[in-house]
Amino acid sequence: MLIPLKTAYEVLLLEPGACSNSYDWYRQRAQRDGVVRFGSRRQLVRSSESGVIVTKVKGQWMVNQEDLDAELAEHRAARGELEQITSDYRSRILHGKAGATLRTTFGSYTVYVGFHSIWRSDAKPWKESGVYWFCSRCWQPATLAHDKPECHTCSDWGGCGRDCTLSEVSCETCGTAMAM
C-alpha cells in the first residue's frame, strides 16, 4: 500500500532518537535519487543501505508502507544496538577491530591496538577538545606525547582539526605503549 511521503515523514518524527531533516530535504532526495532513508543504521550488524523507493503518483511523492515499516524496524534495532554499545562500554567491553569507530549515546569511541579514544559530544569546544585516550587493558587515562612536527595546514594556517603532532600514546599504569 502506498502512502504519501509527507505521512512517512510525520511517522518518522514520532520515533525516539530519529534525527530528521526537513521535509523538503526528503523531497529533494526523492527527486534526485528516487530513494530516501529514514532513521539510523546498525553498526555491528550490517543491514541494507537501500532505503525506501519513492515514486510520484499524480504529482505527490509516495512510499510503500511495508518498506517504511522495515526502515523503521531497522531504526529501532539500531537504537537498541546503540544503547547496548554504550552499556558495554561502561562495562569495559569494546566492540570492533583496530580502526573502528562506534557511536555511543555520549559521542563515540575509536579502537586502536591497546588503546581507545573517546569523543564526548558534550565537550565545550572553547575549553576542551572532547577527545580522551584510555588504555584498553587497564582503562586508565593514557599519557600522550606530542613530538611530531605540525602538518602543513597547522604550520601555515593553524588548526587542522586533527591531533597531528601526536607521536605516542602510553599507559603509565601497565606499561602499554603505541607509536603513532
Per-residue pLDDT tens over the stretch 6-22:
999 999 999 988 877 89
Report the chain's mean pLDDT, rounded to a whole number.
Answer: 90
Per-residue pLDDT tens over the stretch 66-82:
999 999 999 999 999 99
pLDDT at 127: 64
Per-domain boundaries in the chain? 2-88, 94-179
Q: 165 falls in which pLDDT band (50, 70, 90)? A: confident
This prediction has a pTM of 0.83
d(CA 174, CA 135): 9
pLDDT at 11: 93
Residue 13 CA from chain centroid, whole number: 20
Cell of 62: 509516495
Answer for the pair 178, 168: CB distance below 8 angstroms, yes or no: yes
Per-residue pLDDT tens over the stretch 102-145:
999 999 999 999 999 999 888 776 666 678 999 999 999 999 99
